[in-house]
């Protein structure tokens, strides 16, 4: 199977996971990216039993709406005391402890917010994303534009990596992204916490403190469930 077929396979597995585990009428959180798009196209078939949809980006909101699905405001969901039992999203890298690098598509901040509200994070990936050590994929850092050079300097000091501006890209929140190249992240939880302390960083793409709870991993032998 090629990578696109693996994405389709894991998207179907995630739809089955939602059909089995999401209580009828409950709210589903939906991630961003090409794997998440495959998932949206599959899971739309469950529209009758899903109470509402929360999007982690404008692109995902538009794709959900193109299927005629009702996208809810996250503040309204939380303020009304509603639960979001499941959030399904892809990743750029994932390790054995289910820590991830995310943000290749630039939606890291909203993804982290939706993941924080959800009870269970289901990560959907093809096998190319599974790594021993995070950092082969450049770590995305969303920055306030006026802080970019300050943050760049702090990132070099802290990580020894090489931050590169994602040219011509502005996030849904109006910010820029520095992608940090050349990392080998041995302690993702500690690095995530340290990055959160740098003034000017809006969000870092390490999802370690709140990693995935379930990984659906598509490979040539089929889709494996890892917890
Ligand atoms: C977007 C993300 C995506 O989940 C990540 O980039 C994976 O995308 P894809 O499924 O296209 O490989 O974090 O911000």
* CB of 138 closer than 6 angstroms to any ligand 1 atom: no
User: Relative to the CA of 129, which ligand 1 atom is closest?
Assistant: 12
DSSP 142-178: EE-GGGHHHHHHHHHHHH--EEEE-TT---TTS-EEE
Indicate the pairing of strand 27-30 with strand 201-204: unpaired
* CB of 89 closer than 6 angstroms to any ligand 1 atom: yes
- Per annotation, catalytic residue among 42, 111, 142, 154: 111
* CB of 60 closer than 6 angstroms to any ligand 1 atom: no
User: Which residue's CA is the nearest one to ligand 1's atom 8?
Assistant: 33
Residue pLDDT tens, the chain, 227 long: 899 999 999 999 999 999 999 999 999 999 999 999 999 999 999 999 999 999 999 999 999 999 999 899 999 999 999 999 999 999 999 999 999 999 999 999 999 999 999 999 999 999 999 999 999 999 999 999 999 999 999 999 999 999 999 999 999 999 999 999 999 999 999 999 999 999 999 999 999 999 999 999 999 889 999 99
Q: Residue 40 C-alpha to ligand 1 middle, in angstroms?
A: 14
Q: The complex's ipTM?
A: 0.97
* CB of 103 closer than 6 angstroms to any ligand 1 atom: yes
């Amino acid at each position: 199977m090629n990578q696109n077929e693996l994405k389709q396979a894991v998207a179907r597995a995630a739809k089955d996971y939602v059909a089995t585990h999401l209580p009828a009428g409950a709210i589903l959180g939906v991630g961003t990216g090409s794997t998440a798009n495959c998932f949206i196209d599959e899971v739309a078939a469950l529209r009758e039993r899903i109470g509402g949809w929360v999007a982690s980006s404008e692109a995902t909101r538009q794709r959900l709406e193109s299927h005629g699905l009702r996208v809810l405001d996250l503040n309204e969901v939380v303020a009304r005391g509603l639960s979001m039992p499941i959030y399904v999203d892809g990743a750029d890298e994932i390790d054995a402890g289910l820590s991830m690098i995310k943000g290749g598509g630039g939606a890291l901040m909203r993804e982290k917010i939706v993941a924080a509200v959800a009870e269970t994070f289901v990560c959907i990936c093809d096998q190319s994303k599974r790594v021993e050590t995070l950092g082969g994929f450049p770590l995305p850092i969303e920055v306030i534009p006026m802080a970019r050079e300050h943050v760049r300097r702090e990132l070099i000091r802290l990580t020894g990596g090489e931050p590169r501006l994602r040219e011509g890209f502005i996030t849904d929140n109006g910010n820029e992204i520095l992608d940090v190249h050349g990392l080998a992240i041995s302690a993702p939880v500690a690095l995530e916490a340290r990055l959160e302390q740098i003034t000017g960083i809006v969000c870092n793409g390490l999802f370690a403190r709140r990693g995935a709870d379930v990984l659906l991993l598509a490979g040539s032998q089929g889709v494996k469930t890892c917890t």
